[in-house]
Structure 1
Amino acid sequence: MTTAQKAIDLLRTQMTGDDLRRLSVADLRLLESLCHHWHQLANYEREKRNNTAA
């Protein structure tokens, strides 16, 4: 399993709402920023693959 697959699995199966509520405001901002960054990268990669597959 790759690091990215491990991260997806961790967020999907291990992280709970209680985990989020225990984070500080600064950590919530950091998590949000990281998720936003990876969201943008995933969108770019998906669009790139869609454009090259055509």
Structure 2
Amino acid sequence: MALQICCTCGYTFRAEDDDALWIKAQAHIKDSHPEMIGMVQREDILAQAELV
């Protein structure tokens, strides 16, 4: 099973585990939402994850 997050901007990303999802989320924030850098915690991201 994988984890998935659908960002409010419409971008969806998947990863095989919590660590990979966190890395992808950080990259997405950096690329698409730089104003949020440092504002989103790992726990916030993982709480949004859905099993797919």
Q: TM-score by structure 1 length? A: 0.33
As a proportion of its length, which structure holds more strand? 2
Bigger Rg over Cα: 1
As a proportion of its length, which structure holds more helix? 1
